[in-house]
Chains A and B, each alone.
Chain A
Amino acid sequence: MAWKDLCHVPGLPTSCGTKTREYFVDVRECEAVRRLRQAGAVGLGKLNMTELALGPFGDNPHHGDAQNPWRTGCAAGGSSSGGGVAVAAGLVLGAVGSDTGGSIRLPAACCGIVGLKPTYGRVSRAGAMPLSWSLDHLGPMARTVADAALMLGAMAGHDPADATSSRRPVPDYAGALARGVAGLRLGLPENYYFDGVSPEVAAAVREAASVIARLGAVVTEIRLPDPQPLTDVASLITWCESSAVHARIVRERPHELGSVVRARLEPGFHVSAYDYLQAARIRARLTREFVREVFAEVDGLLTPVIPEPAPALDQVTAGAPGEVVLRMARFARLTRPLNGLGLPALSVPCGFTASGLPQALQIVGRPFDEATVLRVGHAYEQAAGFWARRPPAAPSPDVRAR
């Protein structure tokens, strides 16, 4: 396995995608990595990532852009870009990623692999670089749902070193996979999640829902509480906390940062304490309301992960930093609300576009109900069979670092 380069592992540098070789150090090993190693995982090293985990496309001005193994020149997704690429290309069986607004699920979707953002509090973040401590999650990236379930079983559980870590017991995720989906109630959102989504993506997700229904689940349309306030909350909290965490490099060595990352970090210095605290207060209430209303009707949600298939990297990263940041926000608009809510969300491959790029289904569950999310993902994956397809083995000759 391999680790996103924001996990502190003794003996290895942790650049966090920056120009600085040892940008992040900690007194202890990343707890999620330590638990996987204790469970027998063999670590092969660190994985490329978007600078400071700030960006959904997988570009990096210092270490080279991660290339999508299905199509050179297309975004690999980010910020856990190296995890998406390495797992899809078969270089590793699994990877540890982090997800503050979609950074596990977006590269999983772009690269055609499985990625899970667990419930907030399920996996310790101790020993990993914080981007936004209120929204950061660590989770597994793998070729199959079964592999992700095995990894989560090893990574999850209480850790006193992370103040948000839950004491809930860790169930046997892998052992529950074979229970199937018969009788489960699953909802396809009527609002927000299909707004502005490409027809090809929407069709793939609806077809995946049909497959899951044929396996015995009851799939219905559902109107969700508007996720937009959650997106506002998650964005504002991320701006504030990431600026606070990375203030030193922004203030003392701004020239070392890429222009878009600098642009992303700057607004956080101008948010009032009032706005930040109101965002943090409203978040818990929005979460309680969402959980109460949605999960009274269904056991899970089925949505797209990305609004369009992996875009051309040179197109989405072109233009003024402000334009790029707005493009980033649009690309992560289907994943970011789940960080605000803290709910478990899984990205599973659900086919390919006419041009051969991966498509992805997002499965969302109740708090701490990763077991159901993984069950649905596993049943679908085994029925659909897309997991067995592999990208072209050899990279194109024009793959090169900047």
Chain B
Amino acid sequence: MTDGEGALRAVLAGAAAGIERAAADLALAEEPSRLVAALEAEPERG
């Protein structure tokens, strides 16, 4: 592994750790496919 790859792996590990913290209290029912539904939940504006 080069120095450059090591730096990127470190960034990746940091991102994964951040997600782990943010997901700590994620609801059991949360699915990965709900983004468009979340966006469409906002009422339409004229």
From 1 to 21 in chain B, residues with beta carbon under 8 angstroms from any chain A beta carbon are: 2-9, 11-12, 14-16, 18-21
Q: How far is the CA of A164 from the CA of B12 in the complex (A)?
A: 27
Q: How far is the CA of A229 from the CA of B22 in the complex (A)?
A: 7
Residues of B within 8 A of A279 (CB): 19
CB-CB under 8 A for A121 and B19, given A282-B26, A320-B3, A320-B4: no
CB-CB under 8 A for A232 and B30, given A367-B42, A369-B45: no
Instruction: Return A225 CB to nearest CB of chain B, in Å.
Output: 11
From 347 to 372 in chain A, residues with beta carbon under 8 angstroms from any chain B beta carbon are: 366-369, 371-372
Q: How far is the CA of A333 from the CA of B45 in the complex (A)?
A: 29
Q: A261-287, CB under 8 A of B: which get 1 and which 0? A: 001101100111001011111111111
Residues of A within 8 A of B27 (CB): 285
Query: Are A288 and B36 closer than 8 Å at their CB atoms?
Result: no
Q: How far is the CA of A287 from the CA of B40 in the complex (A)?
A: 11
Nearest A residue (CB) for B37 = A284
Name the contact of B18 in the complex, choosing from A229, A277, A366 (C-beta under 8 A). Answer: A229
Nearest A residue (CB) for B17 = A232
Given known contacts A282-B23, A320-B7, A325-B7, what 4 new A-B pairs fall within 8 Å (CB)? A232-B22, A267-B12, A322-B7, A369-B45
Nearest B residue (CB) for A291 = B42
Q: B24-46, CB under 8 A of A: which get 1 and which 0? A: 00110011111111111110111
Nearest B residue (CB) for A289 = B38
Nearest A residue (CB) for B30 = A281
Nearest A residue (CB) for B9 = A267
Query: Are B39 and A119 closer than 8 Å at their CB atoms?
Result: yes
> What are 21 sample pairs from A and B whose C-beta atoms fall under 8 A apart?
A121-B36, A229-B18, A229-B21, A232-B15, A233-B15, A233-B22, A235-B15, A236-B16, A278-B23, A280-B32, A282-B19, A283-B35, A284-B31, A284-B32, A284-B34, A287-B38, A322-B3, A322-B5, A325-B8, A342-B35, A372-B45
Q: How far is the CA of A291 from the CA of B37 in the complex (A)?
A: 13
Q: How far is the CA of A272 from the CA of B8 in the complex (A)?
A: 15
Name the contact of A233 in the complex, choosing from B5, B19, B46 (C-beta under 8 A). Answer: B19
Q: How far is the CA of A229 from the CA of B23 in the complex (A)?
A: 10
Query: Are A367 and B39 closer than 8 Å at their CB atoms?
Result: yes
Counting chain A CB atoms within 10 Å of each CB, which of B6, B9, B21, B36 scores highest? Answer: B36
Residues of A within 8 A of B5 (CB): 263, 266-267, 322
Counting chain B CB atoms within 10 Å of each CB, which of A228, A321, A371 scores highest? Answer: A321
Residues of B within 8 A of A288 (CB): 38, 41
Task: Name A's B-contacting residues (CB within 8 A).
Answer: 119-121, 134, 164, 166, 168, 171, 228-229, 231-233, 235-236, 239, 263-264, 266-267, 270-272, 275, 277-288, 291, 295, 320-323, 325-326, 329, 342-343, 366-369, 371-372
Query: Are B4 and A368 closer than 8 Å at their CB atoms?
Result: no
Query: Are B18 and A228 closer than 8 Å at their CB atoms?
Result: yes
Query: Are A277 and B6 closer than 8 Å at their CB atoms?
Result: no
Residues of A within 8 A of B9 (CB): 267, 270
Residues of B within 8 A of A278 (CB): 19-20, 23, 26
Residues of B within 8 A of A232 (CB): 14-16, 18-19, 22
Nearest A residue (CB) for B32 = A280
Instruction: Return A309 CB to nearest CB of chain B, in Å.
Output: 25
Query: Are A326 and B11 closer than 8 Å at their CB atoms?
Result: yes
CB-CB under 8 A for A287 and B35, given A236-B19, A367-B40: yes
Instruction: Return B11 CB to nearest CB of chain A, in Å.
Output: 7
Query: Are A326 and B7 closer than 8 Å at their CB atoms?
Result: yes
Instruction: Return B16 CB to nearest CB of chain A, in Å.
Output: 5
Query: Are B32 and A371 closer than 8 Å at their CB atoms?
Result: no
Residues of B within 8 A of A271 (CB): 12, 16
Residues of A within 8 A of B14 (CB): 232
Name the contact of B8 in the complex, choosing from A164, A280, A322, A368 (C-beta under 8 A). Answer: A322
Nearest A residue (CB) for B27 = A285
Instruction: Return B12 CB to nearest CB of chain A, in Å.
Output: 5
CB-CB under 8 A for A236 and B12, given A281-B23, A285-B27, A372-B45: yes
Instruction: Return A326 CB to nearest CB of chain B, in Å.
Output: 6
Query: Are B44 and A323 closer than 8 Å at their CB atoms?
Result: no
CB-CB under 8 A for A366 and B42, given A239-B12, A275-B19: yes
